[in-house]
Amino acid sequence: MGTDQADIVVGIDLGTTNSLIAYVDGDTPKVLADTDGNLLVPSVVSFAEGKLLTGIDAKEHWVERAESTVYSIKRFMGRDSNEVGEDREYLPFAFEEDENRLIHIQLGSKTYTPPELSAMILRELKQRAEKHFGRPVNKAVITVPAYFNDTQRQATKDAGKIAGWDVLRIVNEPTAAALAYGLDRKEKQTVAVYDLGGGTFDISILKLSEGIFRVLATGGDTHLGGDDFDRQLMKYFAEKISAAGVSGPMDDPRAIQLLRQEAERVKIALSANSTANFLLTLPGKPEISGTISRDEFEEMIRPIAQRTAGPCKQALADAKLTPEDIDAVVLVGGSTRMPLIRELTERIFGQKPYTDLNPDEVVALGAAVQADILGGSRRDTLLLDVIPLSLGIETMGGVFSRLIHRNTTIPTSAQEMFTTFVDGQTSVDFHVLQGERELAADNRTLARFKLTGIPPLPAGIPRIAVQLMIDADGILQVKAQETRSKVEQSIEIRPSSGLTKDEVERMIDDSFDHAEEDFLARQTAEAITEAKSIIHAVEKSLRKNEDLISEAKRAMIASSMERLKKTMTDKDHGAIRDAIDHLDKVTHDVAEKILNRALHEAIKDTSVTGNQSAIE
Ligand code: AMP
């Protein structure tokens, strides 16, 4: 790779708990260690002794300076205080919100945003690299979870910039893991990346063909991981303690902490051995010791481990694949060292998983491979990812019009034509959303903007091209242009807040739960929009051609319009369609041919048809 003067590009795994920096040495990706040989930089920032500390130095102050030590900052990147939800428990330190509800964390006399705090970790990694290479190192690739939305990716990129990095690309963690195994150099194949860490589970399906590397689907569970296995062992220990007649261990926080540590130690020992001894030393209580077998342990954690199977099946279904289509399975995350997890993945995907690389380092190693590609040594590989939720805009009647569907590979773009609803309309408000529901109100607003300066023309005449473009980092640009006058407006979306993976999952689940009612609501909204525009056109024609229509006919049309208006208030789309048909019939033979034609021209012009929807 380019360790010459021209270009050093490094790969960074900016983790929730620990971060790593790696580069490709010759042909081999390597994680950079500090002078003491530590590979991991704890993702921790602390204010102590009048200064800010990061990494190992900060972690040392974790316990005695809990109130001024910040960890798990990745959970807050690109999210506002509303969206933090149950992750609030990870935020025991003081924080403020600004007018956009963005979090500012107090450390010493100053406050810092999550990107600024992440930047401190990224700066430590930068110093590590510069020490290693003995010269400035500015270019980096940073990994993020595949489910990170635009805002979270942008926040990560911002953190890189603040730290002085030129962030060449934001890469999905599973994509990096597959790269670490060199799977991009293989023949055409499909890969499953199974990532089980301490607190979260992620599954991704990637497809590699002819040098093109794509993420087909992602899924997982944000509350499933090694901590759950530890908890099962803690329960087992608690039973042993109570069987020994020792009372109340679970009420004492110190005792719980000791049980947790012993549980994790025993769990890790059982990954390598078929039995493990445990020793429970609780403050002021008699010691309790015993032995547990791997079989016993596996029995108690099997139901939890098996919960990873569901998201795997769902991701396969989303990718329209079966387990037989998977050519390689890659394991990431400390918990995948467990034999039970290896067996389980083997059963789910019908093959032995790749386990040669250290599951804690594999993402950083892959980031280094990507850095190497971008550094210019391997131009044959292009990395692509997918968007987690559909993107689109609101059209008349509050309908969500999808332009890009979820799980579409990025970079991508889509364009659709829209028009105006009212005669002489010179501006259009755009409402950009993401989500899976049929009505805009049920989805999530990303941005609103206005296209002004549209020439005043009859409704339905202006042609407004709306284009959505997502770059390789998942950052969205929306452009609207009136094609005759060429007036245009564009916006880069950096919404003030992001979404958690749980919320993404919930939004997808909601769309299934509400599929039927959403379908009806959309049909109704569309019928009402059409009815409104027809009433508008008929009223206009009646006014213009007053002398040509008999009283009797006018009364018939009026009563037909009343009927249509009533069905609109009743919100019954079948009745609305019938009433539209009725009005259509009643107006058919109105007066002479010329009036008839004029009337129908008007109806046609303002009707909402096909992919040319109207926007208010
Ligand atoms: P990660 O979030 O990827 O760093 O994974 C951390 C989780 O992996 C923690 O729950 C650890 O207890 C767990 N872990 C690490 N090594 C092992 C091992 N050898 N066997 C079982 N679990 C492990």
202 is catalytic: no
- Active site residue: 13, 80, 360, 436, which one? 13
Q: Does residue 595 surpass a pLDDT of 70?
A: no
- Burial (CB < 10 A; 0-12, 13-18, 19+), residue 558, is middle
- Give the pLDDT band (50/70/90) at residue 89: low
- Give the residue ranges of DSSP H helices in 36-149: 55-59, 114-133
Inter-helix orientation angle 150-162/114-133, to 10°:
50
Note the pTM of the prediction, 2 decimals: 0.64
Residue 1 lies inside a defined structural domain of this protein:
no
Residue 4 lies inside a defined structural domain of this protein:
no
Pocket residues: Cβ below 6 A from ligand 1: 17, 197-198, 225-227, 264, 267-268, 271, 333-335, 337-338, 360
Domain at 156, CATH number: 3.30.420.40
- Burial (CB < 10 A; 0-12, 13-18, 19+), residue 277, is exposed
509 is catalytic: no
- Give the pLDDT band (50/70/90) at residue 358: very high
Pairing type for strands 9-14 and 409-410 reads unpaired
Domain count, the chain: 4
Whose structure tokens read 């795997």? 312
Over range 459-485, report the average pLDDT: 86
Q: Which domain holds residue 281?
A: 226-306
Q: Does residue 377 surpass a pLDDT of 70?
A: no
Same domain? 216 vs 264: no
- What ligand 1 atom has the least distance to the C-alpha of 333? 3
Q: What is the pLDDT of residues 160-191, one digit of tens each?
A: 999 999 999 999 899 899 999 988 877 778 99
Same domain? 410 vs 349: no
Same domain? 293 vs 165: no
Same domain? 492 vs 589: no
Same domain? 215 vs 319: yes
Q: What is the pLDDT of residue 609?
A: 38
Q: What is the pLDDT of residues 251-296, one digit of tens each?
A: 666 777 788 889 999 999 999 999 999 999 887 888 899 999 999 9
- Give the pLDDT band (50/70/90) at residue 92: low
Residue 609 lies inside a defined structural domain of this protein:
no
- Active site residue: 59, 74, 139, 207, which one? 74
Over range 368-388, report the average pLDDT: 71
Q: What is the pLDDT of residues 64-88, one digit of tens each?
A: 676 788 888 888 898 887 777 666 6
Q: Ligand 1 pocket test: which of 31, 335, 336, 362 has the largest number of ligand atoms within 8 Å of its C-beta?
A: 335
Q: Does residue 537 surpass a pLDDT of 90?
A: no
With beta carbons less than 8 A apart as the criterion, state whether 311 and 502 touch: no
Task: Kindly report the backbone phi and psi dihedral angles of residue 234, in degrees, each rounded to the nearest multiple of 5, phi listed first.
Answer: -65, -40
Q: For 19-33, 473-487, 549-563, 591-605, which range has the lowest pLDDT when averaged over its residues?
A: 591-605
Same domain? 546 vs 471: no
Q: What is the pLDDT of residue 489?
A: 86
Q: What is the pLDDT of residues 425-460, one digit of tens each?
A: 899 889 999 888 888 888 888 888 889 899 888 888
| Gap from CA of 197 to ligand 1 centroid (Å) | 6
572 is catalytic: no
Mean pLDDT of the chain: 84
- What ligand 1 atom has the least distance to the C-alpha of 264? 12
195 is catalytic: yes
